[in-house]
Structures are given as C-alpha cells and as structure tokens.
Amino acid sequence: MIHTTKELELIANEIRQDIIKMLVEAGSGHSAGPLDMADVFTAMFFEVLRYKPKEPDWPERDRFVLSNGHINPVLYATMAHAGYFPTSELKTLRKFGTRLQGHPERTRLPGLETTSGPLGSGISQAAGMALGFKMDALVQQRVWCFTSDGEHQEGNTWEAIMFAGKNRLNNLTVVVDRNNIQIDGLTEDIMPLEPFAMKYQAFNWHVIEIDGHNFEEIIAALNQSRAILEKPTCIIAHTIAGKGVDFMEYDYRWHGIPPGLKDIEGDPPKALQAKAALEKLRTLNGKIRSEHE
Amino acid sequence: MNSYELNPDLYSTKLEYEPNRKGFGEGLVEAGMNDALVVALCADLTESTQMEPFAKAFPERYIEVGVAEQNLVTLASGLSAVGKKPFVASYASFSPGRNWEQIRTTICLNDRNVVIVGCHSGVSVGPDGATHQMLEDIALMRALPNMVVVVPCDSKEARRATVALAKLNKPAYLRVAREKTAIITTDNSAFKIGKANVFKEGSDITIVACGPLVYEALRAAVDLDRLSISAEIINCHTIKPIDSETILASAAKTKRVITLEEAQVAGGLGGAVAELLSSKLPTHVERLGTQDRFGQSGTITELWKEYELDSTAIVKTAKAMMRGVKK
C-alpha cells in the first residue's frame, strides 16, 4: 500500500466533508450514495487505479466508468483530491457554466471516461472498452466500473453481465455499491436483488463480497480481481448508506436529497443539517472532539 | 444540364432491383478494408442486416451481441471510447426503436462515433407487419443533437454512404430497407454527406424524396411531363444536416414542394423540409409518407398504394397542387 490505512481514512473523511459542502452549495443532489462510496473511491484512486491527473488522456491509463452518475459528488471530490482540478472548483457543482454538471458529462471535464446518469448502461460501456483492449491485445489497461445495487433492476445491466461472462472479460472489474437503498425505499422491498452474488456467479463472473468501509478488504479485492484470468470480477461492496453522518446512515430518505433541503423526522432541522453533518464527520460521529469547533 | 449520373437503364425493362441493405453490407466490407479500426456488432440478425460478409471477411472484428439492443449500442459506445469505429445493426424497430435513451446519452451526448444501422425500415418490409415496419426512426434520430441521419435511395448509394460514414467520426444513423428496389444510381454517382442531389431538373414543382421511394418520384416525373407539369426531383439522402441550399433554391424556382418518405411525416423528412421552408421561404408543402398510422402486412406494391407513397399518389398530389388545391 502507498498510504497507511489511517491516511486513507483521513482522505475519505475530507472527501465526505467536501461532498456535504458541495451538496449544500448546489442545493440539490444525492447524499447517501456519495457518502457511502467515499471509502471505495479513496482506495481506488489513491491505491489501485493507474492514471495521470495532469495527463487525463494518457493512452495507457486504466479506464474508470461511473455507471450510477448520480453519485458524482464523490467522483468529483475524489478527482479534485487526486489532482485533476483544484478543490476550489467543487463549489461550482450543478451551477451554470460548470464543468461539474449535475450528472457527469465526459465532453465537459477532462478525466471523465463517459457520460452517465440514466441507469443501467455503465457496465455495457465498460465491457465495450474491455473488449476493445482485448481485440488489440492490450493487457496493461484495466477497466473498472462502479455501479449501484438499484441499477441491477435495469435490463441493460443484465445484458452487459451476460455479455462480459460469455466473452470472459477478465480485464473488467465491476464494483457494486450494495447499500440496500433506492429512492423509493429498500431494494429488497422495491424489487429484491438477492441472492445477488449467486446471480453474478450464474452469469460466469468471479464474485467477491467485502465490507465497503474496510480499506484492507477493498484494496485486497480490487487487486485480487487483476489475478482472475478466466472471468470478469464483481466486487459486492456492502456499504452503509450515508456512511459517516449518523443521522443519514441506513436511511433511504437521504438517497436523493442534499442537506438543508427539508426537515426529516428524527434528524436535525433542515437549517442545521449541514452543520451537524460536517460536525459528525469532523468528530467521527462524536468519537473525537472537533478541532474546528 | 444535370451533372448527376443516373442509371442509364432507369426507364428501361433492363432495370435491375436490389435491396439497399445489400449495399450497406458491401460498403461495410469496403470500410473494413479501408480501416482496421472499423468493427461491427449485431444483435442476432447477421444475415438479414447484411453484416454477414463483414463477419466472414473480418471475424476478429465482428461481435455477436445476442438479442440485446440496449447492450448493442452501449457496447459500441465503449468500443468507440478505446478508439474503434463501430457499426451496429439490427431492425430499426429495435435499434433505434428500443434503445433510444442509450443512443441519446452514451453516443450523442457522449459524442462517440458509432454508426447505427436501422434495417427493415418503412412499410416495404411487407409481410412481417406493423411491429417490424419502422416508421418513426427518422424523427427519433433527427431530434438528437450531434446525430447525422442518412437515408440512401438504392443499394449503390447505401454502399457509398456506408464508406463515407466510416470516415465521418460522428454519431450517425443509416436507414436501409428490406425489399429489392430499383437501382437508381451508378458506381460513379457522386455522394457527399449533407449534399442533396438533383436527379431531374424541373420548373413547376419540387419533389424532395429519400430512400427507395425516390424511384417512385422519378416515375411520377415522367407521368407529369406528359401532363406538361415539369417536376424537379431532389434525392435528399441526408436528412440531417439537411441541404438547405439545394432545397431553398429549388423551392424558390418552383414554389411548390412535395416531400416523400417511407416514414411518419411528423418529424421525418417532411417535417425537416417544412421546418426549413416555413422560416426561410414559406412555400406550399404537401408531405407524403405515413400519416400518423401504423403499417400492416402486405406486398410492397399493395402497401405503397395503400399509404399513398407510389407514383400514382405523387401525380395526384402534384396535379392538385398545380390547380392550387391544398389538402
């Protein structure tokens, strides 16, 4: 590992704070998914992914595809911390003229590999990239696709999973954010996905299940996927929706809204949500005293 | 003098017929020979979409996707992202009919050079009936920013269009048809994306047509000549970007325009021409095409008659316009 676990935790915590600040500034956007994927993004961009932030078109780079484009606050914040652009630009999220569109647009921001938002088409695009590399016998570049659990209710997702299994795209790793929530409720109430791992296995994928907040597990799984030669790999990252801000955790009502938008029963009043969220992050949910307070 | 070279057998009994999808298939092989980056993807319709010659010539560049049209176009977007030049083919009802959002987001907004080939367009699909007779694809594709829309009139033009689209490096839609139709052009005919061709000059009425129906327009022009009505025939193979210059010049001369297409007139070629003329040169336009109806089973002759797409319908419309009658 390049960083210690402690260092990675601190980076992820800063990314989470930036997510809260961006969402508050924007006044709209998604909270739960970006927060719960901050650890996986941190591990990916600071330990595993091959890229050059100052040379985003570097031909030998890995390709990173975000399928569930709505969690882009975590992508933008991670990219800023990784050196693609200054963190000061994060406050332009969703504003007129910004490169940080409400959903990611490749042609506006160097470093983005695709445009996404409508769900279910990321794995297909990643599979196309992986197949293209195989056709050209390029073995350096790996294709990584981050996707959500709810997206597996889309037919297009399964078309892609079937295709990647058939074509043994071992240069493709999919990471599923298994946070169990979607806008209308819990995935298992809305349209059950379980037995989730078995579904991927049945489509001839290698499946790894991990704790999506344990850096050693995340990095080990991402690296293990490079060593699987016969199949594409799916990493099911079990995450806690809204991770890091205790009043958002496990609560699907925080899926699609930013802090400060509306009062939610049992949570701080809307005027205090952002301040409370940042304090929760700075103090690790009250475990340490905030140096900023 | 008309410089465009038409088939010399156009009005003789020696005229040959060929489906224009066949020209696409030949063009794809040619494009594949020209450029090793050209790849082809098909959704379980290799033979009827005419991708088979390419699949045989370049098996390592041919990708069978199975019956999965959403995956078809999104895979192509990914292949384009790593430098390939993908052509994807299926029946137009399914692609771009079923996968329009994926085309919109991952190809057009994402600006990827994928060529979507919609086969079995129009009522001329025949016995398969309404489900397989795609009529709304021109409107669906034309509405998308970044998209180029090409509807070749015959097999030779389809071949030229395919070769040209492989070099364009833009999102594009190529519309071809199932049935054998007249070979109107020659191997030496000119073709440039975005540049309509005047197939016959005239002074009384302009007929702007696309696809195999261009032949019906040419036949109608012969009948109209006998009635002393001089029709100008424009083959508008590129519907987007539309050739405003050629259409406006013709409309300024004749002051009467008929559009003809094997598609819904709403949003199709008829829509495109009417939009252009309404703002630049208000002109009486009659739009022939399917009029907010679905197709049905039948032969090409029966269906073109039923939907008023054949030369008889064109002559009738032209005569009425010359009398100043509006539909």
- Give pLDDT, residue B325: 77
Interchain proximity A118–B101, CB inside 8 Å: yes
Cis amide bond preceding B96, omega within 30: yes
User: Which chain A residues contact residue B83 at CB under 8 A?
Assistant: 132
With an 8 Å Cβ cutoff, is A135 touching chain B?
A: yes
Kindly state whether residues B233 and B298 are assigned to the same domain: yes
Residue of A nearest to B64 (CA): A163
User: How near does any CA of chain B get to the CA of A127, in Å?
Assistant: 6
Question: In the prediction, which pLDDT does B326 show?
Answer: 74
In a domain, B7, yes or no: no
Q: pLDDT of A76-126, one tens digit each?
A: 999 999 999 999 999 999 999 999 999 999 999 999 999 999 999 999 999
- B114 lies in the same domain as B158: yes
* Closest among B136, B152, B148 to B100, alpha carbons compared: B136
Q: Can you spell out the DSSP letters for A176-191? A: EEE--EETTEEHHHHS
pTM above 0.80, yes or no: yes
Scanning the structure block, which residue is given the tokens 């591990």?
A43
Domain annotation covers residue B3:
no
Residues B114 and B172 in one domain: yes
CB contact under 8 A, B78 and A128: yes
Which CATH number is B302's domain given? 3.40.50.920
Q: Do A160 and B105 touch (CB under 8 A)?
A: no
Q: Which H helix or E strand runs over A236?
A: strand A233-238
Is the confidence at residue B115, as pLDDT, over 90? Answer: yes
Residue B305 predicted with pLDDT over 50: yes
Tell me the pLDDT tens digit for each residue of B123-145.
Answer: 999 999 999 999 999 999 999 99
Q: Is B277 exposed, middle or buried (0-12, 13-18, 19+ CB in 10 A)?
A: buried
Which of B182, B207, B242 is at the close of a domain?
Answer: B182
Average pLDDT over all residues of chain B? 97
Question: What pLDDT does residue B1 have?
Answer: 41
Chain-chain contact of A128 with B79 (C-beta, under 8 angstroms): yes
Rounded distance, CA B232 to CA B218, Å? 9
Alpha-carbon gap, residue A79 to A148, rounded angstroms: 19
Compare CB distances from B78 to A105, A120, A127 and report the shortest one's residue: A127
Please tell me the distance in Å from B269's CA to the nearest CA on chain A: 29
pLDDT value at position B2? Answer: 53
Q: Are residues B165 and B28 in the same domain?
A: yes
Q: Does B206 map to a domain?
A: yes
Q: What percent of chain B has pLDDT over 70?
A: 99
**Residues A260 and A278 sit within 8 Å (Cβ to Cβ):** no
CA distance B294 to B283: 28
Residues B246, B158: one domain? Answer: no
State how far Cα A282 lies from the chain centre: 21
- Residues of B with CB below 8 A from A156's CB? 70-71, 74, 102
Q: For chain B, say whether A283 makes contact (Cβ under 8 Å).
A: no
Chain A contacts of B79, Cβ < 8 Å?
A: 128-129, 131-132
E strand spans, B164-312 = 172-175, 180-182, 197-200, 205-209, 231-235, 238-240, 256-264, 284-290
Contact B68 A129 (CB under 8 A): no
Alpha-carbon distance of B86 to A135, in angstroms, equals 13
- Do B46 and B121 share a domain, yes or no? yes
Does the pLDDT at position A290 exceed 70?
Answer: no
The answer to whether A33 and A148 are in contact (CB under 8 A) is: yes
Cβ of B75 within 8 Å of Cβ of A156? The answer is: no
For the cut 60, the answer to whether the pLDDT of residue A293 exceeds it is no
Q: Is A64 exposed, middle or buried (0-12, 13-18, 19+ CB in 10 A)?
A: buried
Q: Nearest 5°: phi and psi at A177?
A: -80, 95
Mean pLDDT of the B280-297 span: 98
- How does residue A287 score in pLDDT terms, banded at 50, 70 and 90? confident
pLDDT at A216 over 60: yes
| Gap from A288 CA to chain B (nearest CA, Å) | 45
Q: Look at residue A213 in the predicted model and tell me its pLDDT.
A: 97
Q: What is the pLDDT of residue A291?
A: 53
Give the pLDDT confidence score for residue B103 in this predicted structure: 98
The ipTM value here is 0.94
Say if B126 falls within a structural domain.
Answer: yes
Within chain B, residue ranges assigned H as helices are 20-34, 52-57, 69-81, 100-102, 137-142, 155-168, 214-226, 244-254, 269-280, 300-306, 311-322
- Tokens for A209, please give them: 């299940």
Domain assignment present for B299: yes
Q: What is the mean pLDDT of the segment spanning B274-302?
A: 98
Which tokens in the block code for residue A254?
A: 């925080």
- What three-state secondary structure class fits A63? strand
pLDDT per residue as tens digits for the range A25-37: 999 999 999 999 9
Which member of B75, B102, B106 has the closest CB to residue A127? B75
Nearest CA in chain A to B65: A163
B145, part of any domain: yes
Q: Give A163's contacts in chain B (Cβ within 8 Å).
A: 65-66, 68, 71, 75
Residues of B in contact with A132 (CB under 8 A): 78-79, 81-84
CATH topology of domain A5-282: Rossmann fold (3.40.50)
Report residue A196 as tokens.
Answer: 């989730």
Looking at the structure, tell me whether residues B74 and B117 fall in a common domain.
yes
If DSSP codes are grouped into helix, strand and coil, which group holds residue B82? coil
Domain of B59, CATH number, reads 3.40.50.970
In Å, how far are A137, A200, A223, B241, B279 from A233, measured between CA atoms? 19, 9, 11, 43, 56
Domain assignment of residue B108, yes or no: yes
Same domain, B174 and B98: yes
Q: In the 8-state DSSP scheme, what is residue A52? A: -
Structure token digits, residue B104: 């919109």
The tens digit of pLDDT for each residue in B59-111 reads 999 999 999 999 999 999 999 999 999 999 999 999 999 999 999 999 999 99
- Residues for chain A: how many in total? 293
Please check whether residues B201 and B168 belong to one and the same domain: no
A105 touches B at CB < 8 Å: yes
Total structural domains within chain B: 2
Kind and range of the H or E run holding A26: helix A5-26
Numbered residues of chain B with Cβ closer than 8 Å to any chain A Cβ: 39, 60-61, 63, 65-66, 68, 70-71, 74-84, 101-102, 105-106, 109-111
Residues B38 and B157 in one domain: yes
Choosing from B182, B205, B235, the residue where a domain stops is B182
For residue A159, give the nearest of B63, B68, B84 by CB distance.
Answer: B68
Residue B128 and residue B64 share a domain: yes
Give residue B250's domain range. Answer: 197-321
A53 and chain B in contact, CB less than 8 A: no
Residues of A with Cβ-Cβ distance to B61 under 8 angstroms:
135
Query: pLDDT tens-digit profile of B173-218?
Result: 999 999 999 999 999 999 999 999 999 999 999 999 999 999 999 9
Beta-strand pair B172-175/B197-200: unpaired
How far does B215 lie from chain A, in Å, by closest CA?
40
Is B11 within the bounds of a domain? no
Paired tokens of B231: 């029709």
B297 Cβ contact list (under 8 Å, min separation 6)? B126, B127, B128, B129
Q: Are residues B217 and B113 in the same domain?
A: no
Query: B20-62 pLDDT, tens per residue?
Result: 999 999 999 999 999 999 999 999 999 999 999 999 999 999 9
Are A125 and B82 inside 8 Å of each other by CB? no
Any idea what the Cα angle at residue B195 is, between residues B191 and B200, rounded to 5°?
A: 80
